[in-house]
């Protein structure tokens, strides 16, 4: 079992499915009965999930970057206006 995300409440583990060949088990939560969510994915579905997660992460990063840029532009504009008002 390989821990891929070390979060105190919901760690994420990936492991080989020993019962079903060409399958990967994704376990979210503590590896105790009743405390984790488990899904077995065949390797093609695991790739689809991985690509979807990467795509979603890239889109969210781009959205947050644009929001940050807008805040920086607004702050610069506010600073410029305040400096203009302060000049005698």
DSSP labels, 38-82: EEEEEHHHHHHHHHHHHHHHHHHHHHHHHHHHHHHHHHHHHHHHH
Is residue 75 predicted with pLDDT exceeding 80? yes
Q: What is the pairing mode between strands 23-29 and 2-5?
A: unpaired
Domain boundaries, the chain: 2-86
Residues with Cβ within 8 Å of residue 39, at least 6 apart in sequence: 25, 26
What value does the mean pLDDT take over residues 26-47? 86
Q: Does residue 81 have a pLDDT over 70?
A: yes
Q: What's residue 1's pLDDT?
A: 67
Q: In terms of DSSP H, where are the helices of 1-42?
A: none
**Residue with more model confidence, 18 or 76:** 76
């Amino acid at each position: 079992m390989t821990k891929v995300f070390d979060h105190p409440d919901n760690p994420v583990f990936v492991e080989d499915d020993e019962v079903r060949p060409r399958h990967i088990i994704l376990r979210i939560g503590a590896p105790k009965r009743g405390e984790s969510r488990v899904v077995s994915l065949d390797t093609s579905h695991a790739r689809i999930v991985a690509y979807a997660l990467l795509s979603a992460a890239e889109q969210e990063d781009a959205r947050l970057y644009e929001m940050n840029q807008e805040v920086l532009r607004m702050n610069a504009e506010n600073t410029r206006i305040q400096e203009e008002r302060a000049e005698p």
